[in-house]
Amino acid sequence: MYWNSSIERLPQKDLEEIQERKLKALVFYAYEYSPFYRRKFKEIGLNPWDFNGLRDLHKLPFTCKQDLRDNYPFGMFAVPLSQIVRFHASSGTTGKPTVVGYTKNDIDVWVECLCRALTSCGVTNNDIVQISYGYGLFTGGLGFHYAVERLGATVIPASAGNTRRQIELMKDLHATVICCTPSYMLYMSEVAKEMGVDIKRDTKLRMGIFGAEPWSEETRKRIEDKTGITAYDVYGTSELGGPLFTECVERHGIHIWADHYLIEIIDPKTGEPVGEGEKGELVVTTLSKEALPLIRWRTGDITYMETDKCACGRTHPRIMRILGRADDMIIVRGVNVFPSQIEHVLMQIPELGEHYVIILDRKPDGLDEMTIQVELSDKAKIDRTTDILELEKRVEELLKEYLNVRAKVEIVNPGTLQRFEGKAKRIIDRRKI
Ligand code: DLL
């Protein structure tokens, strides 16, 4: 099923034509209406009249989070405030928060993108969708809300938190789809169990749309086993709009709507494009945004791209599951590793639960040390200290074998690590304290 069949199945060369036309228009638009980009273009001597579209893409400057911070709050807007109909903002855990703004048309495009995505993973107007992403300045709650309504499905605007109430709502209001972070879904399934609710038996939930944080294929399996639902990945960032792109029913990559967003994968160190199918940083140019157009936006997210036609019939390119953010990459004793890779190894071990935290320390001799605390599964039949010690050893060996990282593993009792209602915080870096 398609939301906008003609566009979603448009031959690639027609999509390219749209991109060509919109990219040229964007360069003029940015030059004309965004003092920030006019200045940037002047600095590098770029004249919009000489810009030749896609083949000159590499001549355009990158835009990064620091640019938004430096121009806080409105310095990068390309429309007067009278045309802005909504703000969202990032939490700003590191440094100043960033503010994003939307015109009426920006909201329409966002809703269109997410409606295409939701339809591609099988949400229909008969569904009852519980939205357990936070409502407010975070884009998750309201983003899904508007799209689900436009789809004609029923919204349960639960927002995040109050977890026991979430389970009651899910059960009593016959929710068929849930949208939240994968870590919150894991937490919800624990609370359901405590309440004596079996999500498989006692609810009508059939599907979950999980994102806003990195998660692994193994975690997908765990969620599906515990709840009996089918789990889909959703990606987006507030700067690009919010949640925008999901996997389709094939579940082999996330379709990026190419008539609105132009993607590149670059080497984060050199800024040069990587080879076909190679991993690198996702860079996105917005082709339709009016309030806050972004040229070659450095998402910081590491992934790779596939451009061949998907079995679902959609022609838009796909990015594969996000491995993590370039700045979340842990470098311990010269080995680079993403938390999601550690998660992938941990979740293959049936005796371990789903909750873990990675602690980084610097020893007095200057060497870095990584400790992974992970819960024992509540199903694991282990209670002897010697068996726990043995399991810790085995996990350490597996991490060494798969990722070549040396880590100290500490297995803790089920239910002892922190739970999250929104994005999980998995890394505690004590090296900078
Ligand atoms: O997290 C938007 C969103 C809301 C996406 C709801 C999906 C669902 P920000 O708060 O600006 O926006 O954070 C964006 O979150 O750059 C990634 O690092 C991370 N992220 C988002 N989705 C995924 C995903 C929202 N599916 C940042 N897998 C991005 C891995 C993700 N990381």
Answer yes or no: is the C-beta of 237 below 6 A from any ligand 1 atom. yes
Mutation test residue for ligand 1: of 114, 118, 213, 233, the one with most atoms within 8 Å of CB: 213
Q: Report whether 317 contacts 245 (CB < 8 A).
A: no
pLDDT value, residue 365: 86
H or E element: which one contains 410?
A: strand 408-412
Answer yes or no: is the C-beta of 63 below 6 A from any ligand 1 atom. no
Answer yes or no: is the C-beta of 281 below 6 A from any ligand 1 atom. no
Mutation test residue for ligand 1: of 301, 328, 426, the one with most atoms within 8 Å of CB: 301
Answer yes or no: is the C-beta of 144 below 6 A from any ligand 1 atom. no
* Residue 387 CA to ligand 1 centre (angstroms): 38
Residue nearest to atom 29 of ligand 1 (CA): 237
* Residue 334 CA to ligand 1 centre (angstroms): 28
Q: Report whether 47 contacts 37 (CB < 8 A).
A: no
**Tokens coding 240:** 């690009």
Number of Cβ atoms within 10 Å of the Cβ of 276: 10
Cα–Cα distance for residue pair 166/76, rounded to 1 Å? 38
pLDDT value, residue 92: 62
Q: Report whether 284 contacts 261 (CB < 8 A).
A: yes
CATH (residue range 329-432): 3.30.300.30
Q: Report whether 25 contacts 260 (CB < 8 A).
A: no
Cα–Cα distance for residue pair 363/43, rounded to 1 Å? 45
* Residue 239 CA to ligand 1 centre (angstroms): 10
**Tokens coding 402:** 């798969």
Answer yes or no: is the C-beta of 236 below 6 A from any ligand 1 atom. yes
pTM of this prediction exceeds 0.85 = yes
* Residue 181 CA to ligand 1 centre (angstroms): 9
pLDDT value, residue 276: 82
> Count H helices, E strands: the chain?
12, 21
pLDDT value, residue 57: 98
Short-list 123, 125, 113, CA closest to 179: 123
Name every residue whose Cβ is closer than 8 Å to that of residue 318 and which is 6 or more positions away in sequence.
Answer: 252, 253, 254, 255, 256, 305, 306, 307, 310
Answer yes or no: is the C-beta of 243 below 6 A from any ligand 1 atom. yes
Segments of the chain assigned to CATH 3.40.50.12780 = 1-326
128-131 vs 230-237, strand pairing mode? unpaired
pLDDT tens digit at each of 433 positions of the chain: 999 999 999 999 999 999 999 999 999 999 999 999 999 999 999 999 999 999 999 999 999 999 999 999 999 999 999 999 999 998 765 667 899 999 999 999 999 999 999 999 999 999 999 999 999 999 999 999 999 999 999 999 999 999 999 999 999 999 999 999 999 999 999 999 999 999 999 999 999 999 999 999 999 999 999 999 999 999 999 999 999 999 999 999 999 999 999 999 999 999 999 988 999 999 999 999 999 999 999 999 999 999 888 999 999 999 999 999 988 899 888 888 999 999 999 999 999 999 999 999 998 888 889 999 999 999 998 878 899 999 999 999 999 999 998 999 999 999 999 999 999 999 999 986 6
Residue nearest to atom 28 of ligand 1 (CA): 214
Answer yes or no: is the C-beta of 343 below 6 A from any ligand 1 atom. no
pLDDT value, residue 308: 87
Give the nearest ligand 1 atom to 239 CA.
Answer: 11
Short-list 186, 225, 134, 208, CA closest to 419: 186
CA angle 378/330/70 to nearest 5° reads: 115
* Residue 212 CA to ligand 1 centre (angstroms): 3
Segments of the chain assigned to CATH 3.30.300.30 = 329-432
Answer yes or no: is the C-beta of 133 below 6 A from any ligand 1 atom. yes
**Tokens coding 119:** 């339809």
Residue nearest to atom 12 of ligand 1 (CA): 237
Short-list 374, 370, 320, 322, CA closest to 347: 374
* Residue 53 CA to ligand 1 centre (angstroms): 29
Q: Architecture of 1-326 per CATH? A: 3-Layer(aba) Sandwich (3.40)
Cα–Cα distance for residue pair 228/350, rounded to 1 Å? 18
* Residue 322 CA to ligand 1 centre (angstroms): 9
Answer yes or no: is the C-beta of 112 below 6 A from any ligand 1 atom. no
Cα–Cα distance for residue pair 371/361, rounded to 1 Å? 8
**Tokens coding 47:** 């004249």
**Tokens coding 167:** 């389970």
